[in-house]
Chain A
Amino acid sequence: DTGVSQNPRHKITKRGQNVTFRCDPISEHNRLYWYRQTLGQGPEFLTYFQNEAQLEKSRLLSDRFSAERPKGSFSTLEIQRTEQGDSAMYLCASSRKTDRAQYFGPGTRLTVL
C-alpha cells in the first residue's frame, strides 16, 4: 500500500502522560500536514511541513504539542501532559509541492482517560 500510513491506530492514555504519533507520507510527497478531528466536526488544521521545515502552525497547536519531520520523510506529533480535551482523531495528510490536493492517512484515535 503506497498511501499515507499512521501509527498507532488507537492510543489510550491517562491524563498527564505524553504520547507520540507517527505519520509516513506518500513517498514522493514533500508536504506533510497534521489535523485534529473531534466528534461532529470536520478536520482542523494543526501544522504543516515542506520537507523538514515546519512552515505553518495553527493557534490550535498549544505549547504542549510539538511536531517534527527530521529527515523530510516521516513525521511525529507529540502531545505532552495530555488532557481529556486532547481526545480526538489525529489525521496526517501529504501532498506534492505543486498540488493543493491532500491525501489522508487512516488517523490515530487518542483517548485520554
Chain B
Amino acid sequence: AQRVTQPEKLLSVFKGAPVELKCNYSYSGSPELFWYVQYSRQRLQLLLRHISRESIKGFTADLNKGETSFHLKKPFAQEEDSAMYYCALSRTGGGADGLTFGKGTHLIIQP
C-alpha cells in the first residue's frame, strides 16, 4: 500500500527566510504527487503538482524518485504563507482513485 510521510507537524520560520516542507512517499509504481494548502478558515486548495513543474506563489517542488521525495520549497517566506500544507499521492495506471495524504505540516511565518 502507498504511504505519504510529512515528518514535521509544525515548522516555524522568520519572514524572508527559506522554507522547505518535507514529503516522502512509498509506492511501488510511478505516482503523481501534489501539494495542497489550507489557509485558516478556508477549504483545501491545490497548490501544485509535479507533472506541471511550475512555480505557484513562489513555491516549487521537484519529484526525486531516487529518494522518493517531493519536498516543497520557497526561497523567501512571506507571512501570508502561514497555513497547513498537505502532500498527497495519486496512484497511476488504469483509472483514477482517492488521494493518499500525509498528516500535514503547519507552517508559521513569524514577522
Contact = CB atoms under 8 A, between A and B. Distances in A.
Contacts, number: 58
A4 B92 CA distance: 24
B96 to A, nearest CB: 6
Contacts of A47: 98
B46 interface: yes
B15 interface: no
A48 interface: yes
Interface in B38-97: 43-46, 49, 86, 88, 90, 92, 95-97
Contacts of B97: 45, 48, 56
Contacts of A75: none
A102 B4 CA distance: 17
Contact of B44 (A45, A48, A55, A91): A91
A85 interface: no
The range of chain A's interface size is 20 to 34
Contacts of B49: 100-101
Among B45, B97, B104, residue most surrounded by chain A Cβ atoms (within 10 Å): B97
Contacts of A41: 103-104
Interface of A: 3-4, 31, 33, 35, 40-48, 50, 55-56, 58, 91, 95, 97, 100-107
25 contacts: A3-B43, A31-B96, A40-B9, A41-B104, A42-B4, A42-B88, A42-B101, A42-B104, A43-B44, A43-B99, A46-B98, A47-B98, A48-B97, A50-B95, A50-B96, A55-B95, A56-B97, A56-B98, A91-B44, A95-B96, A101-B49, A103-B46, A104-B36, A104-B43, A107-B43
Interface of B: 4, 9, 32, 34, 36, 43-46, 49, 86, 88, 90, 92, 95-104
